């Protein structure tokens, strides 16, 4: 993973779908409802990587991870320009959030040290001493978890519940088709194409989430490959 | 990572917290109920599964077969495919369902059909014929794999099974099951 403050390289062969690039803008235009949707998205996808980041800092004494991260979300996501500032930063959203989280930790540290004499550490930068790959792994896990939820919702909404069941049983639970298709009353040949249908929904859901992390000019395939190599 | 105790704001040593990567090898995946809300039933996925699922996000480049996938995803695909397989340019001997889906054609007849389709798919000036013969080409390959356990294409098995699955996911029955069985025969995971 890049250092949080590093600016991502611009890639000329941009294949991020414009509709996804504009998702956050469109939600912001919808007012409070859209804002709530953005907040839900951010808290779902980025809670786990921030948790891992926090546990890798020397500031763990500040508080319980859940409490600190909830406080961070409550504070920063309530700021009107927080996301607009991200859009102009050129950073990936996860890097922007980690940057902001570092500032938030410093603020908490100052609060904890308030009134104490001789506390020079209060203003020192947050130091991450953990394995940066663990943050990427946490991010990937969050993306996969959210994409599974979104894809299941898509499949259910489009009448593909059985397809989802086959996909989930085979790819997530690791059962060979032959072990469970009889229970569903379908042929293994039918099951494998049903799983393919659900897999496409999952792929769409996953790529949508990956696209939302970018401010633009990135190749989703390259981003996924990069995260796979990095984690 | 340094594991020494850190003093908290009151000067008291803070108990050591768990390592930051604790529990990273598994994630809890909430399941959804019928109303779409998470039911809270955890389904733990280990890192190997997470990695495999994440890799599914990589898209394949546009292939000629995608035009056929698009056509089969459209309205009336069942009638369209039935008519397509009966076109003279496809050259299926007898009833396509009987000959290909149920396996009445012998391997030589299927191979002849596949070759005819291959030529037409590459050279015919009519888009509709190219699409129909592309369908005939892959269905012939699937029939040979399922009913005769023969691979009559030089395309790599992995690519071929992936294409058969993509076609199968949008094809009507009995072709969907035939294509799925063929993909499994070719080693689809």
Q: What is the mean pLDDT of residues A158-180?
A: 95
CA angle, residues B94, B97, B98, in degrees to nearest 5: 60
CA angle, residues A230, B3, B9, in degrees to nearest 5: 110
Residue A185 is classified by DSSP as T
Residue B98 is classified by DSSP as I
Q: Distance between CA atoms of A97 and A94, rounded to whole angstroms? A: 5
Write the CA distances from A50 to A22, A37, A90, B54, integer angstroms.
24, 19, 20, 20
Mean pLDDT computed over every residue of chain B: 81
Of B145, B148, B149, which Cα lies nearest the Cα of B165? B145
Closest-approach residue (CA) in chain B for A114:
B9
| Residue B44 banded pLDDT, cuts 50, 70, 90 | low
The more confident residue out of B78 and A16 is B78
Q: Which residues touch A87 (CB under 8 Å, ≥6 apart)? A: A24, A25, A215
* For residue A168, pLDDT beyond 70: yes
* For residue B11, pLDDT beyond 50: no
Q: What is the mean pLDDT of residues B106-125?
A: 96
| Residue A21 banded pLDDT, cuts 50, 70, 90 | low
In angstroms, the separation between the Cα of residue A81 and the nearest Cα of chain B is 31
The more confident residue out of A65 and A6 is A65
Interface check for B52 against chain A (CB to CB < 8 A): the answer is: yes
| Phi, psi dihedral angles at B29 (to 5 degrees) | -110, 110
Range 19-78 of A in CB contact (< 8 A) with B: 48, 52-56, 58, 60-61
Tell me the percentage of chain A whose pLDDT exceeds 70.
85
């Amino acid at each position: 993973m890049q250092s949080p403050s590093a600016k991502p390289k611009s890639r000329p062969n941009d294949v991020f779908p414009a509709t996804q690039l504009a998702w956050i803008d469109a939600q912001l235009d919808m007012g409070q409802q859209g804002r709530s949707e953005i907040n839900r998205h951010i808290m779902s996808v980025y809670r786990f990587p921030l948790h891992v980041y926090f546990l890798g800092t020397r500031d763990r004494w500040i508080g319980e991870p859940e409490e600190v991260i909830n406080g961070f979300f409550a504070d920063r996501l309530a700021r009107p320009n927080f996301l607009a500032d991200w859009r102009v930063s050129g950073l990936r959203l996860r890097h922007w959030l980690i940057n902001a989280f570092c500032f938030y930790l410093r603020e908490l540290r100052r609060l904890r040290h308030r009134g104490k004499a001789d506390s020079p550490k209060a203003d020192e930068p947050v130091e991450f001493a953990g394995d940066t790959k663990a943050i990427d792994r946490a991010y990937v896990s969050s993306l996969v978890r959210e994409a599974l939820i979104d894809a299941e919702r898509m499949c259910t909404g489009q009448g593909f519940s059985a397809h989802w069941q086959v996909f989930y049983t085979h790819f997530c639970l690791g059962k060979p088709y032959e072990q469970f298709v009889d229970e569903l009353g379908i042929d293994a040949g039918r099951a494998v194409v049903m799983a393919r249908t659900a897999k496409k929904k999952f792929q769409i859901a996953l790529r949508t989430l990956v696209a939302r992390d970018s401010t633009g000019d990135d190749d989703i395939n390259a981003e996924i490959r990069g995260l796979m190599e990095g984690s | 990572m340094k594991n020494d105790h850190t003093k908290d704001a009151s000067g008291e040593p803070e108990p050591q917290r768990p390592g930051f990567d604790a529990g990273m090898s598994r994630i809890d995946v909430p399941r959804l109920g019928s109303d779409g809300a998470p039911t809270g039933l955890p389904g733990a996925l280990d890192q190997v599964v997470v990695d495999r699922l994440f890799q599914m996000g990589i898209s394949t480049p546009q292939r000629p077969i995608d035009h056929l996938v698009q056509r089969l995803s459209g309205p009336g695909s069942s009638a369209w495919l039935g008519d397509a397989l009966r076109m003279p340019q496809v050259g299926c001997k007898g009833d396509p369902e009987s000959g290909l889906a149920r396996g009445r054609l012998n391997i030589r007849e299927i191979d002849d059909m596949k070759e005819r389709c291959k030529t037409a798919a590459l050279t015919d000036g009519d888009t509709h014929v190219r699409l129909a013969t592309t369908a005939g080409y892959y269905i012939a390959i699937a029939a040979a794999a399922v009913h005769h356990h023969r691979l009559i294409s030089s395309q790599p098995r992995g690519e071929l099974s992936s294409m058969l699955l993509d076609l199968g996911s949008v094809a009507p029955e009995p072709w969907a099951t035939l294509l799925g069985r063929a993909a499994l025969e070719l080693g689809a995971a």
